[in-house]
Amino acid sequence: MTASPGRVRSTSVLATEAATDNEPMSSPAVSAREAEVLALLGEHLSNAEIGARLFISVRTVESHVSSLLRKLELPDRRALSRRAAELARAERTRPAVALPAPLTTFVGRIWERAGLGEAVKTHRQVTAVGPGGVGKTRLALAVAAEAAGDFADGVWFVDLVPITDPARVGAAVAAAVGIGEQPGRGIDDAVLAALAERQALLVLDNCEHVRDGVAPLLERLLAACPRVRVLATSRARLVVPFERVFPVPPLSLAGGGESEAVALFMDRAAAVAFAPDPAAPDRIAEICERLDGMALAIELAAARWPTLGLDGLTAGLSDQLRILAGGPRADDRHRSVRAVLDWSHDLLEPADRALLRRVSVFVAPFTTESAAEVAGFAPLAPAAVTDALARLAEQSLLAVTMSAAGTRYQALETIRQYGTERLTEAGELAEVRSRHLGWCLAGAALLTGGVRADWRARFDAVADDLRAALTWAADHEEQRAGAYQIAVNLAELTFNRNLLGEAQLRYEQAAALAADPAAAAAALRHAAGVAGCRMLGDDMYRLHRAAGEAARRAGDAAGAAGDLATAVTTAYRFSGAFTRLPSAQDATALLAAAQELAGDDPAALAALAVAEAGVLADVFGGIQSSPDTDVPYALASAQRAVDLAERTGDPLAETVALDAFTAAQSWAGDTFGTATTARRRVALLSSVPVTPASTHELIDALVSATETSLGVGDLAGARRWGSQLAEHPLLAEVGHQAVRWLLVADAFAGDVPAVLAGGARFLDGWRRNGRQPSSGLAPAAAAVAMVHGLRADGSARAEWLAVVDDLRALPELARPAGNPGGYAATFDAMVLLHHGDAAAALERVAPEPEEVWKWVTWIWLHWYVALRAEAAVLAGHPAARDRIAAARATVAGNPVASAQVDRAEALLDGDLPRLLATADAFDAAGCRYQWARTLALAGSELGAAALAGLGVAPMAVR
């Protein structure tokens, strides 16, 4: 049985709709078979064509058509066709049913179909259990298709056959469901978060060989995702708490010539040639009984019928049926499948037998050329492979898929396992596995070279083979070098394919396989870079320390010093990505060890200087407690780190040092200097080769450039950097992480449609990621809340403010009387001023900037002090002019904040021409909301129209 990816329409859904759509509740129900007939009527097929498609007689079709006319109260066949087309259009709007489309009809299994369908409705997790070849997959697909209408969020099929590592079961589920990597969490956690609120059905096929990965994932998934149900197929039960085992028996033999087993044989025989003689069913029943009703065995026998006939089939079974020793875990039915495979195998020519067992090493569909390279050796010449593949396909031992990319072949899992046994018996297993490994290495080398533009599709086509080759090679000491190389290649490819969890795993695996400690250290550094892209601070710290130990074993003292210093740097630079920060004592010990190892190596000294500067400037140092005394020293230390990094000639080292310098500048209140340094980091990284570390650094630099551009009123720059973040491949699938700073820039600019669209993407991404608290994301949510406040949508604003509260895991520093300064006060004051409540706005920004200096200095200082000045004027505060003067000195050079201060002074002085002049300044700075607000404050008739054009509510003017 073969299947190709596609969408399967649920006939039960069609039947329900046909019976209820625009019909009285008392209308008779349309059966599943009638629904199939109705669907084909929609394709304008004749009764004869429908009968041929459904394998029923023309008279039966006529009966179903008459029944449909009566049940749906329609006048003629043309009306039935129109109804079918309407239902098909409606079906296309339903949630995706991501099931493989069977290439052959589903035969029989009436009772099992009904029983398994009922089990799926009443139990959280059902496992269809039976021997290989009994038909579990086809039964599960049929049941899932029928149940699709009960699951509002879809039905997904997960083929676990290609998975060789139990740890990758979650990745397979994620790929099937369409879940990307989620920064800060593993792929299993991402799956649980994405499905937490979904009403969906997962079909996990062929679980037996990765039960150790399936069982723990299911336990977590069923506990965390209460509306998800799972239908699994396996040769053995999974032994999980929610499991309901549904035994799948062989096809029914009752009824002799009219049994399900005979019906399957007749159907498959007709598909490959012509139907057997009508008098044949009783003889076919005897054959099916000899095969114990096993679906795979019957299909293989039916494939032989056109060349051997019933006499030949009977003789073949009598003479050549052998029961292989399957061991104590193989039951009788499984032995029967093995027997018919034995029999089919023995009918092959020696060269075809050799090819069948050798191509069993391929996990994914393979080409003729690939088969020749791996399997083309004595007694099978490479030139003979093409014809041999065709002969195996003719015997249903290989499935064939044809596409624009060419013809590919694949052995079903049962046949692959059988072929592996035969390889072992022939003494060829090591040889063929080694050739397969060589084929994988050559293919991976071409892909990592970036020669082909379609490398992603080519990688996807061979990825499972690369993983299988690595699994085999890693267990064989003599293949260690190849295992190491393929692990490195697979790590690079999966990183570039945005499979970050696997990339980190493969780099760590490469480090464990490396014969040279220096190579292990390099792999561990790459793994740390991937962990950084995943926002896993604990892993970054662990991996940099491990890299340092490996470098020390390799005799690379300077490299070890750099690794240990970088581990410390990671702890202060990315403290928000840690679940448990290392202690100051640990950091001090690492720094001391790094100092002993550094010597006079420039790169090591630069890394050490960055670590020391960072410790001074953040979580381990005193700058939080005594900024006035420590800021100058922190600036000097950071500048020294930059100077040392410049001497290395390494842009990556320089940008790390510059980040430490931006931290010191921000603490010092040098907003413009911080923005300049941040932009310099992006420029440095523009020409750096793409590696995990450089990618992580670029994302961090883009975040910093966006933030600091907002801080100096460069809205165009903030949007430019923010857009690059939103479009970065590693963030594009993680909506909330991708658009967070772009939302703030658009909110300040007054681009309401962009904020609403981005807000929806943000909220969807955050919910899919499990609603994780993250104070770094809170400003984006507050910006969306502010826009809803300007729109006078109180309920939406309240919802977003609740999101802000959920995100803000840590309180802001120096929060006065529970009233946070910084972004929250800034956005709240803007809303209050828009609605004319100047007194409340003045109260919202009452704390002096230095009281909340840590937060307002970084980004919000200019916005905060400008709003304080304007609120003071509009509220009639006696110190309004003093606040204007203080704000002017702070915001000089910021086009938006300067215009806001000028507007406050014009309002205070009643200077209308100067007030209108600030509108032009806002317009030039790209701040359309403040431009429209200025017109409204000036009493211009254009003000209300301008605000309405932006999508905000009318403004209350004092």
pLDDT band for position 204 (50/70/90)? very high
Q: How far apart are CA 20 and CA 172, in angstroms?
A: 38
Q: How far apart are CA 958 and CA 907, in angstroms?
A: 11
Q: How far separated are the first and last CA of the chain, in Å rounded?
A: 77
Average pLDDT, stretch 636-641? 88
Please tell me the chain's helix, strand, coil percentages from 3-state DSSP, rounded to the nearest 5.
Answer: 70, 5, 25
For the chain, give the percent of residues with pLDDT over 90.
Answer: 47
Q: How far apart are CA 609 and CA 615, in angstroms?
A: 10
Q: How far apart are CA 890 and CA 391, in angstroms?
A: 82
For residue 572, what are its two tokens?
Answer: 């202060």
pTM of the complete model beyond 0.75: yes
pLDDT band for position 26 (50/70/90)? very low
| 304 pLDDT more than 50 | yes
Q: Which residues pair with 129 in a beta bridge?
A: 234, 247
Q: How far apart are CA 97 and CA 321, in angstroms?
A: 41
| 45 pLDDT more than 90 | no
Q: How far apart are CA 191 and CA 156, in angstroms?
A: 13
User: Which of 13-17, 257-261, 494-498, 599-603 shows the lowest per-residue confidence on average (mean pLDDT)?
Assistant: 13-17
The per-residue DSSP string of 782-805 comes to HHHHHHHHHTT-HHHHHHHHHHHH
| More confidently predicted of 203 and 627 | 203
User: Which of 350-364, 625-639, 942-956 shows the lowest per-residue confidence on average (mean pLDDT)?
Assistant: 625-639
pLDDT in tens, 678-714: 999 999 998 889 999 999 999 999 999 999 999 999 9
Closest to 831 measured CA to CA, from 747, 925, 724: 747
pLDDT in tens, 209-246: 888 999 999 999 999 999 999 999 988 888 888 899 99
Q: What pLDDT does 319 receive?
A: 44
| More confidently predicted of 627 and 566 | 566
Q: How far apart are CA 948 and CA 30, in angstroms?
A: 53
The per-residue DSSP string of 554-565 comes to TT-HHHHHHHHH
| 351 pLDDT more than 50 | yes
User: Which of 557-561, 666-670, 915-919 shows the lowest per-residue confidence on average (mean pLDDT)?
Assistant: 666-670
Q: What pLDDT does 735 receive?
A: 66
Average pLDDT, stretch 475-485? 95
Write the DSSP symbol of residue 366.
B
pLDDT band for position 450 (50/70/90)? low
pLDDT band for position 97 (50/70/90)? low
User: Which of 81-85, 159-163, 568-572, 784-788 shows the lowest per-residue confidence on average (mean pLDDT)?
Assistant: 81-85
For residue 786, what are its two tokens?
Answer: 């502010």
Closest to 642 measured CA to CA, from 615, 666, 612: 612
The per-residue DSSP string of 304-319 comes to HHHHHHHHHHHHHHHH
Write the DSSP symbol of residue 477.
G
Q: What pLDDT does 5 receive?
A: 31
Closest to 480 measured CA to CA, from 523, 434, 446, 448: 434
pLDDT in tens, 719-750: 999 998 888 888 766 667 778 889 999 999 99
In 385-513, where does DSSP find H-type helix?
A: 385-394, 413-426, 429-448, 455-474, 480-496, 500-513
| More confidently predicted of 92 and 380 | 380
